[in-house]
Structure 1
Amino acid sequence: MAGMTGRASLLRGLLLAAVLGTGSAGWTQQAQRPGGENAVPRVERVDSIEARVQGCATCHGWQGQGTADPYFPRIAGKPAGYLFNQLRAFHDGARRYAPMNYLLAYMTDDYLREMADWFAAQRPAYQEPTPPTVAPELLQRGRTLVQAGDPGRQLPACMACHGRNLTGMEPGIPGLVGLRPNYINAQLTRWRSGERRASAPDCMHRIAIRLEDPDIVAVAAWLGSLPAPSSQEPERRNTGRMPMACGSQP
């Protein structure tokens, strides 16, 4: 118990250092870099949610807008239910990435919900899309899979679940626009291998195992090349049926 208390105190100290700019030299320089994508505005109250989420800014941007690192995703504007599920998965170890697992290990569900609600409400501008580097025919393949799917392989269109504007669907499906190709590629590969999992029935795993490697490259390239949508709002769940049963979208 004493060890857990000590680790929790250390975690709180690291988070407080991130907020106040008094941590290690490297962290301080990133947090205070003027005009940079990681520049974090000072806050008046240390006990506010705006202060507490600044520990997320180095990787995800202070409003969740993302950074230049292609493997750290934009989280701003995603449905709060989806964000909470991911935070809970990192907290429990169901989703594995050591910095996130450690950062969230001692946080309560109430704290995680507050963080999810805050980032879900943010509407920062999208970063510039990633110019595609794949052959035109492969890019077209990605567009077809996203917009129409492949009925012959029982692959629904990405838009059928992630929304017509690919900004997600309430309460538990994330937006895909604004994500980098490297991140999308990595996540689809993890879904396919079973390294990333969701509540049963795990629809993303069922979809990913039907994707071949060129499909994943194509989908990632086309999604990453999309310009900012006219609206950042996730779609509301319509009354129609989902293409397949999905445990994250009851």
Structure 2
Amino acid sequence: MKVVSSSAWFNVAHAETPSLRAPDTIAARVQACAICHGNQGEGTDNDYFPRLAGKPADYLYNQLKHFREGRRKYAPMNYLVTYLSDDYLREIAVYYANLHPPYPAPEPSNLPPSQLQRGRRIALHGDSSKNVPACIACHGQALTGVEPAIPSLVGLHADYISAQLGAWRSGIRHSAAPDCMHTVAIQLSDTDIRAVSTWLAMQPAPPNAAPAPAGSLKLPLSCGSQPH
């Protein structure tokens, strides 16, 4: 597969209007991303377009590669990155990792208290009867992710979190083996997924929403996307 560098892709896209060319910067080149993910990667009102800003660069880079290689399937993303080089994907990932726009207000909930309590328990304590670790065991005590490649869970819509857990559970979404999220998701019922997704979406971002430092957590599962 022929890959395209960032500058070559930009120049081809704007070759017919040289006098109107935008600056050849990464900020200009990712304007196509802004349509769905916001001008600063903050996400949009569409529940299924997630926040990118501030997530660890390696996580964003891995996801771009997964879209390019078909591990994640969403036709517009698969199309956009098909011919982009590893270096260009890395440049995009680092750009968004270094953006820090404000977080949205937490989402309200229409779930009964018992279901919200179930979601809170999964997020903070897991479910030993199902061999499900707590979300905070991998995503950090503040749920802001962990360097270099574990994403934040704050600032995401409940429908997006639910959809991703469902995709991992069904095998539509894949990560590098061993696929720890698939291992977790197949243990969760529909009710579990709705409960934990809703509870997570209700959590406000902390004042310092930076990912936790690399090596600050001992992961309960082996994950192929994480360095050993």
Quick check: TM above 0.5? yes
* Partner residue of 1:185 out of 162, 167, 190: 162
| 2:52 is aligned with 1:70 | no
Quote the Cα distance in structure 1 between the aligned partners of 2:188 and 2:225: 20
- Deviation, 1:106, is 1.3
The alignment partner of 2:30 has SS state of: helix
* Partner residue of 1:208 out of 176, 185, 189: 185
Does the Cα contact within 8 Å between 1:65 and 1:74 map onto a contact in 2?
A: yes
> Any residues of structure 2 matched to 1:135-150 within 5 Å, and which?
135-150=112-127
Number of the residue aligned with 2:92: 115
| 2:27 is aligned with 1:50 | yes
- If the length of structure 2 is used for normalisation, what is the TM-score? 0.90
Does the Cα contact within 8 Å between 1:127 and 1:178 map onto a contact in 2?
A: yes
Number of the residue aligned with 1:238: 215
Distance 1:162 1:15, change over 3 A: farther
**1:211 is aligned with what amino acid?**
L
- If the length of structure 1 is used for normalisation, what is the TM-score? 0.82
Question: Which blocks of at least 5 consecutive residues in structure 2 are unaligned?
Answer: 4-8
**1:232 is aligned with what amino acid?**
A
Q: Which runs of 4+ in 1 moved over 3 A?
A: 11-17
Does the Cα contact within 8 Å between 2:43 and 2:50 map onto a contact in 1?
A: yes
The alignment partner of 2:164 has SS state of: helix
Question: Which blocks of at least 5 consecutive residues in structure 1 are unaligned?
Answer: 6-10, 23-43
**1:183 is aligned with what amino acid?**
Y
Does the Cα contact within 8 Å between 1:15 and 1:55 map onto a contact in 2?
A: no
Quote the Cα distance in structure 2 between the aligned partners of 1:13 and 1:59: 23
| 2:152 is aligned with 1:175 | yes
Quote the Cα distance in structure 2 between the aligned partners of 1:164 and 1:244: 16
Q: Which range moves more in the overlay, 161-170 or 230-239?
A: 230-239
Count of residues paired in the alignment = 219
Does the Cα contact within 8 Å between 1:15 and 1:52 map onto a contact in 2?
A: no
Does the Cα contact within 8 Å between 2:144 and 2:152 map onto a contact in 1?
A: yes
Q: Which range moves more in the overlay, 237-246 or 74-83?
A: 237-246
- Deviation, 1:249, is 1.2
